[in-house]
Structure 1
Amino acid sequence: MLCATRAAAGAVRRQLPVPDRLHAHHSRRGPLRWAPEEVRRIRPFLHCPMQLAEPDPPTDGTLSPPSTDTPTTAAVLARLPRSAVAHFACHGSNDHTNQGMLHLHDHATAPLTISALAQTDLAQPRLAYLSACGTANPGTNLIDQALHLTGAFQLAGFPQVVGALWPIDDRQAAVVTESFYSRLTADGSGRLDPDQAASALPDTVRAARDRCPAPPSLRAGHLHTGA
């Protein structure tokens, strides 16, 4: 997880607002092999990032209590209020009851759901990037009134949010993420400008299409919501 204090994240005009980056690459669906590479690729675009990372499985089979650097739901929710940018690289799901979730360390007992996010008071949100499967999928029960995780992050206060309509390829997600962040700094200043997210994402998807025309599902699932 990459995160910032309020003071650091508030210095938007002078430097990149420090992001909040969730890197949870082990879950019930198995490891996301490209999540560490995704972290490595976006770090150069971020100012003083702090990361919460899922620990490697113990070799002796014993389970240790979560550390302060473990991406538990409580740890994430504690950091979100003072974070300007939040980037999650983990598994996601929608259980078709309109309670989509991000699969953090303790998702089985304390999932980060839409309802949990709705109770978070954000001080200075700029951008949330949900590099996880199905985060923009509303489910099927109340499809005409549905709320998905991508929309929930926007309603919680993030004016720019990127999510995924369906399962996304782990390796392609790292490529798309790097290209997206590079376009947020395309003005040459070196500062990340989250307000360019609405144009940066389609430009990123078109560039991915030009590199690899087929299959479209590898790139077309990425969705931006916001102003």
Structure 2
Amino acid sequence: MTGPELVDTSELERSSVVANNTMNRERGLAGVNSYTRELGVDLLTHLARPAPSWLDLCSGEGRALREAASALPADAVLTAVDLVGPLVPLPTPPTMEEITASVSTWTPTRPYDLITCVHGLHYVGDQLGLLGRAASWLTGDGLLLAHFDPESIRWADGGGEAGRAVVAELRAAGFAYDARRHLLTLRGARRPALAFTYMGADPTAGPNYTGQPAVGSHYTPTVTDTAG
């Protein structure tokens, strides 16, 4: 059985499904169309600590961080990372930095108390690679929240979905998964070794549970050499 033609990260990020997505453009901190509603967590309560830090991956216009800035202390650190960035540049609060970069290659220089990725993984090729890297960017009691669609994880040989195996692996690595919310949660920094090797992405995978076109991420099981 053969699968779809897969593309690398560079080509994926030039595709219309990624470059033109508007999934997270207008979402604010609280209210009907908000991070609080999507994640089911009061983020400001988690950030009620000295010198709080929040990294938002695939941040779109960065509205949630802008709104949070006015409620957090002057020594807070708020970092927004997005492939496109704000479509209309706005003045940023002193505690906030906006970075236009690919989340697939960008790396922070500090740990964070909170890391969010609201529906952003749907447009990332190596979703498991980003989750593993982001887990290592947390503080000791930091919180990672990311929407995740197991049906988007496929075997590279065309053998169908690998989601059940991936969710089991993520849970074994310390993640919790809420299937109703399609939400992964992780508390505390770690470096999970997930037993999957990324092979490429399918930008023609079609709509996911949100109803919007999304990316299929294709993997093979990592073979561990136990000889010796």
TM over 0.5: no
| Superposition TM-score, scaled by structure 2 size | 0.33
TM-score after normalising by structure 1: 0.33
**Structure number with higher strand proportion:** 2
